[in-house]
Amino acid sequence: MAEMCSNSIDGETLEKARRELNEDPDTREQAIADFRAAIEEKENDPELEGVVFERKDSPFLLRFLRAKKFDQSRSLSLYMKYHTIRRDYGKIFSEDDSSSNLSHILSSGVLYVLNGRTRNGEKVVCIRPEKWDMEQDPAERMIRTVLLILDKLLEDEETQVGEREGVI
């Protein structure tokens, strides 16, 4: 049996999820179960050869449902694209992301997330290209770092319900 998805949102954020994302706390678990079943049906699809569905845990699946306003078909399409990109651009996703490889980017100030949120509840990711040392940190490593930061931000339910803002 699949694990229950803990819900850390409440109050204003929960109301926003209901209003803007069609999220219903009473049917959330069933929506996740239906989504997981749809993914499992796709696992042997010949068009997805080489695609590995690494994660099917409830909190991860909830990201996709929220991103597409709980539309199962659109959420499934996004989930498939997420994993297809990981297959097609495997070098970016398989690079060793040890602290020695990413620490220069993170400590250089080229890429950072502002503390707090905007008045609309958005997280702000800042990229300062003028601080990027391309010889030290090739484009693939920079892309990987951006994707890792975005992935980490999306673990937060308020960020899933809210919005993200990028500043370059």
Closest CA to 5 of 65, 61, 59: 59
* 70 and 102 both lie in a single domain: no
Choose one of 88, 118, 145: the last residue of a domain.
88
* 62 and 105 both lie in a single domain: no
* Domain span including residue 166: 96-168
Q: Which positions ≥6 away from 32 have C-beta within 8 Å?
A: 2, 5, 58, 61, 62, 65
* 81 and 101 both lie in a single domain: no
In a domain, 2, yes or no: no
C-alpha torsion sign, points 55, 57, 60, 62: positive
Number of domains in the chain: 2
In a domain, 5, yes or no: no
Q: From CA 161, how far away is CA 146, in angstroms rounded?
A: 20
Closest CA to 83 of 63, 58, 55, 45: 55
* 65 and 100 both lie in a single domain: no
Average pLDDT of the segment spanning 90-104: 69
Residue 143 has pLDDT above 90, yes or no: no
Percentage above 70 pLDDT, the chain: 88
Choose one of 58, 88, 118: the last residue of a domain.
88
* 118 and 138 both lie in a single domain: yes
Residue 62 confidence (pLDDT): 96
pLDDT tens for 18-30 read 888 889 989 999 9
Task: State the pLDDT confidence band at 34, using cuts at 50, 70 and 90.
Answer: very high
Task: State the pLDDT confidence band at 164, using cuts at 50, 70 and 90.
Answer: low
**116: CATH:** 3.40.525.10
Q: From CA 137, how far away is CA 145, in angstroms rounded?
A: 10
DSSP code of residue 130: G
Check: pTM over 0.85? Answer yes or no.
no
Q: From CA 28, how far away is CA 65, in angstroms rounded?
A: 10
Instruction: Give the residue carrying structure tokens 């994302």.
Output: 21
Buried b or exposed e, range 67-105, using 16+ CB within 10 angstroms:
bbebeeeebbebbbebbeebeeeeebbebeeeeeebeeb
pLDDT tens for 105-139 read 888 999 999 998 888 778 888 999 999 988 988 88
In a domain, 3, yes or no: no
**50: CATH:** 1.10.8.20
Choose one of 30, 53, 88: the last residue of a domain.
88
Q: From CA 70, how far away is CA 20, in angstroms rounded?
A: 10
In a domain, 56, yes or no: yes
In a domain, 74, yes or no: yes
* 43 and 62 both lie in a single domain: yes
* 100 and 131 both lie in a single domain: yes
- Distance from CA of residue 56 to its chain's centroid? 13
